[in-house]
Amino acid sequence: MLGKDVVFVCGSDTHGTPIVINAEERNMTPKELIKIYHRHFKEIFEKMSIEFDYYGSTDDYSNHHRTQEIVLELIRNGYVYSKTIPLAYCPVCDRFLPDRYVEGTCPYCGMEARGDECDQGCGRHLEPGEILNPRCKIDGAKAEYREQEHYFFRLSSFKEFLLRYLEDLKGTENALNYAREWVKRELKDWCISRNLDWGVKFPGRDDMVVYVWVDAPIGYISFTEEYAKRTGINWEEIWKEKSEIVHFIGLDIVYHHCIFWPAMLKGAGYTLPSAVVASGMVKIQDKTFSKSRGYVVWVEDDYLKEGFHPDYLRYYLVNYTSHQKDLNFSWKIFEDKVNNELVNTLGNFMYRVLHFTWKNFGRIPEVSVSSEIIKKIEEARKNVIESIESYEFKEASDAVMELASFGNSYFQHNKPWELIKSNLEKCQQVIKDCLQIVKALTILFYPVMPSSMKEIGDIIGIDTTSLKIEDVQVEISPLKLSRPSVPFKKIEKEKIIEMQEKLIRRIEKMGNTDTQEYVTLEDFQKMNIRIGKIIAAERIKGSSKLLKLEVDIGDEKRQIVAGFATSYRPEELIGELVPILVNMKPAKLMGVESQGMILAADVNGKPVLLKTEKEVPTGSIVR
Ligand SMILES: [Zn+2]
Ligand SMILES: [Zn+2]
């Protein structure tokens, strides 16, 4: 709409150890799993009217090809060397432990960290071998270090380049400040090969893949190539010649986009990004977004299927706060934004003007728009452009909403419902002015709320498929109006309460104690909890979490499947006395029947056994 030629690409990041571990837990291949994810993401984007020119997958052939080309180019240009390094190795699994397969302590801040990043603490990327006290993620075993040859990218030789580059890089301050700080400190060479089957093969090595952070951003190039194939444009003009590349990312991947990625592009002779725009993190009801703790609102199940319009959430996301700040989603704020801003301000104005015109004139009056209104619209247009250029989408949408507020008071103040009886000419003038504001609002809000604005556009004769921002000043055509409908619908208080309760139930289910309700003694007595002795334990094939246990509960023996493999080896559990919920409804896990549930303490998602203070007979009741 600003008259720039834009290609908007995105895609699913499909490689790396999280996918492999997740697929293993679900008993499927990584390829099967990424297909499910990819289809899901694509569908959700479509349902939310998020339209990419191309939405690809990093496992597509074109991305394998482009990644190998770039790695080969880096090798030819002398930026890759091999070195033998000590790597975490699990003696139980008898294998090397790449990235997420190893957990331990961050050497920089001392927090719990994953193999390749300090996700809970300082957010740094960690190189293989850097993590302290390494443990195997699968069985919790203490990892040992073994030597192996790996490939390194000479990131250290890009220090001067990056310092200069980051001076000129545009985008949001949150991204740029972090990146500049990081580069000023020590810049280590970067290990870009991994002992995995899943991923893009390292050129010339069948036993290794490239690190996922090599092939993931290269997706931006290969998706552009795919788009070019479809449309006949030349992708090299975008990625090898002069163009403006802008990345929209989350704050947690600034390091990769501002440091690795530009160095890689520079080393292989590709166009460098001109801006990196990072958004803040998502919060749910003021708490950190977390699937495992239940602080999540699913777009499909909790929003679309509940009958909420995609445009309302789009407006919320854009208008809640500055793009760089954390985005808090709460149902109460949602209700407020929809009912006060969309319904009472924007929708009210548009509907009143259209309805009045339709009822009294049947068509758009043929008078010129007042210069005062032209000025007001021009002001809004300038504000919007300025805000968009500084990536402040809230400011842009506020400027449009302000124009709607102005329209409301202009209509109210001039009282066209009185003018129609006393001064028809003046009435037509006021209505024409208001209709021009409706047109400007429709165009300026189209990127935020496309389907609602298309409906208005259809009534007033605007083709929303080819909008230009200058059109806000093109006088609205004097056509006949059809009967308008209300553009936004008020959300009922009861619905919001229902949604809040749904969220609270989920949080409770995940074991958060701060929102829990009381249970009666009667409720508790429904549970038959007894002390049992673990007499046999073995791994369940295909699962990294589950163990099959046999327990003696006094008068009988039970088979129980428990998620203990992340904390204990099977042999460690034999002979332990543990509390068991024996009237738990039987269930099948990974095809194995479980006839009860062993109670344990949950420490950051890992089970810790509960034991009796002294030896007690098996079958003892817990109450
Ligand atoms: Zn292991
Ligand atoms: Zn750290």
* Per-residue pLDDT tens digits for 419-446: 999 999 999 999 999 999 999 999 999 9
pLDDT at position 513: 54
Task: Report how far residue 150's alpha carbon sits from residue 479's, in angstroms, rounded to the nearest whole number.
Answer: 70
Confidence bin at 517 (pLDDT 50/70/90):
low
Higher local confidence (pLDDT), 316 or 511: 316
Could you report the per-residue pLDDT of 244-262, keeping only the tens digit for each?
999 999 998 999 999 999 9
User: What is the percent of the chain where pLDDT is above 90?
Assistant: 80
Phi, psi torsion values for 280, nearest 5 degrees: -70, 180
CA of 557 to the centre of ligand 1 (A): 30
Once rounded to an integer, what is the mean pLDDT over residues 173-198? 92
Which-ligand-closest: CA of 539? 1
CA of 105 to the centre of ligand 2 (A): 8
pLDDT at position 515: 47
Could you report the per-residue pLDDT of 387-420, keeping only the tens digit for each?
999 999 999 999 999 999 999 999 999 999 999 9
CA of 535 to the centre of ligand 1 (A): 23
Q: Which residue has the tokens 């199940």?
A: 301
CA of 522 to the centre of ligand 2 (A): 47
Which-ligand-closest: CA of 104? 2
Dihedral sign, Cα of residue 16, residue 18, residue 23, residue 25: positive
Could you report the per-residue pLDDT of 61-112, keeping only the tens digit for each?
999 999 999 999 999 999 999 999 999 999 998 989 999 899 999 999 999 8
CA of 142 to the centre of ligand 1 (A): 8
| Cβ 277 vs Cβ 392: under 8 Å | no
Once rounded to an integer, what is the mean pLDDT over residues 25-52? 95
CA of 109 to the centre of ligand 1 (A): 25
CA of 129 to the centre of ligand 2 (A): 14
CA of 279 to the centre of ligand 2 (A): 21
Q: Would you say residue 512 has pLDDT above 70?
A: no
Could you report the per-residue pLDDT of 597-606, keeping only the tens digit for each?
999 997 766 8
Q: Would you say residue 11 has pLDDT above 60?
A: yes
CA of 137 to the centre of ligand 1 (A): 7
CA of 143 to the centre of ligand 1 (A): 8
CB-based contacts of 563, cutoff 8 Å, min separation 6: 545, 546, 547, 607
Which-ligand-closest: CA of 109? 2
CA of 88 to the centre of ligand 2 (A): 18
Once rounded to an integer, what is the mean pLDDT over residues 325-351? 97
Among the residues of 260-347, which ranges form H helices? Answer: 261-268, 310-319, 331-336
Once rounded to an integer, what is the mean pLDDT over residues 316-320? 97
Which-ligand-closest: CA of 139? 1
CA of 97 to the centre of ligand 1 (A): 8
Whole-angstrom Cα Rg for the chain:
30
Phi, psi torsion values for 531, nearest 5 degrees: -85, 130
Q: Would you say residue 518 has pLDDT above 80?
A: no
Q: Would you say residue 492 has pLDDT above 60?
A: yes
CA of 341 to the centre of ligand 2 (A): 42
pLDDT at position 507: 87
CA of 117 to the centre of ligand 2 (A): 8
Once rounded to an integer, what is the mean pLDDT over residues 4-18? 95
Which of 134-156 are b and which e, b meaning 16 or more Cβ less than 10 Å from the residue's Cβ?
bbbbbbbbebeeeebebbbbbbe
Please write down the HEC assignment for all residues of 136-151.
ECCCCCECEEEEEEEE
Q: Closest Cα to residue 503, out of 290, 281, 282, 280?
A: 290
CA of 593 to the centre of ligand 1 (A): 25
- Strand ranges (DSSP E) for 492-546? 529-539
Task: Report how far residue 210's alpha carbon sits from residue 100's, in angstroms, rounded to the nearest whole number.
Answer: 15
User: What is the percent of the chain where pLDDT is above 70?
Assistant: 99
Q: Would you say residue 550 has pLDDT above 50?
A: yes
Mean pLDDT score across all residues of the chain: 93
